[in-house]
Amino acid sequence: MQVAIVQFNIAWKDKQANFSKIEELLKGTKADFVVLPEMFQTGFCTDDASLAETMEGDSIEWMKSLSRQMDAALCGSLLIEDLGIVYNRLIMASKGELVGHYDKSHLFGMGGEQEYIAAGNSKVDMTVQDFKIRTTICYDLRFPYTSFNDSEYDILLNVANWPSARIDHWDALLQARAIENQAYVIGCNRVGEQIGKDGKAFYYPGHSSVYSPSGEQLAHSLKEEVIEISLDKKEIETTREKLPFLNDRRM
């Protein structure tokens, strides 16, 4: 499966600018699966309920349209209002159709995320090509039970706005999740600077990465770009046959 990870500098609360930037970066890209960062169309601003859309909103329609144009699956997270409740929701669109979603389970207490949005309460696996993908968002990465491979998934996906101050944790956790679950890990982060509501600047260094089922780093980036990589299910099978650690799971 050919994967394209879009690591870019998200324009603050400017949806159309971010749609245009993504489209420009993806020009000429051929992929089966396209990954966008957490809150890709606004930046991380969970305290602004006016940014939340419904599942019939413009951002969902844009995702469906782009996935149709690229003949691919496309995912990323955004604020969604569903039955009067706001979630940080990862959306998966494939070839013009909405195929699934996941609501962020762990809300970032240090940033007050829980004051504005609700937590999801379910693990969600989605399928692209013949790869089963466990979906997670940013802070979820710190809680290994969320990623526990209890479903024979092939890829752990994490989309994030992970800041420079704790980027060493991001690198270590991505690799650990790959090793312990014997699955590919895809981490999609943003780059650039964002100014918070209190005027404080937050810096995002990228570090979008892909790890093999044995924990080898296969891709890593520090700049605005599309990272393209091909993943092979045989690598998963070989790793699990050679070192059958998953057989000793207690679930």
DSSP string, 74-129: EEEEEEEEETTEEEEEEEEEETTEEEEEEE-SS--GGGTGGGTSBPP----EEEET
Out of 21, 64, 123, 138, the active site residue is 138
| Rounded Cα gap, residues 86 and 90, in angstroms | 13
Out of 104, 113, 123, 188, the active site residue is 104
45 catalytic per annotation: no
Pairing state between β 33-35 and 2-7: parallel
Out of 15, 38, 53, 123, the active site residue is 38
> How far from chain centre, in Å, is Cα 156?
9
104 catalytic per annotation: yes
138 catalytic per annotation: yes
Just list the catalytic residues.
Answer: 38, 104, 138
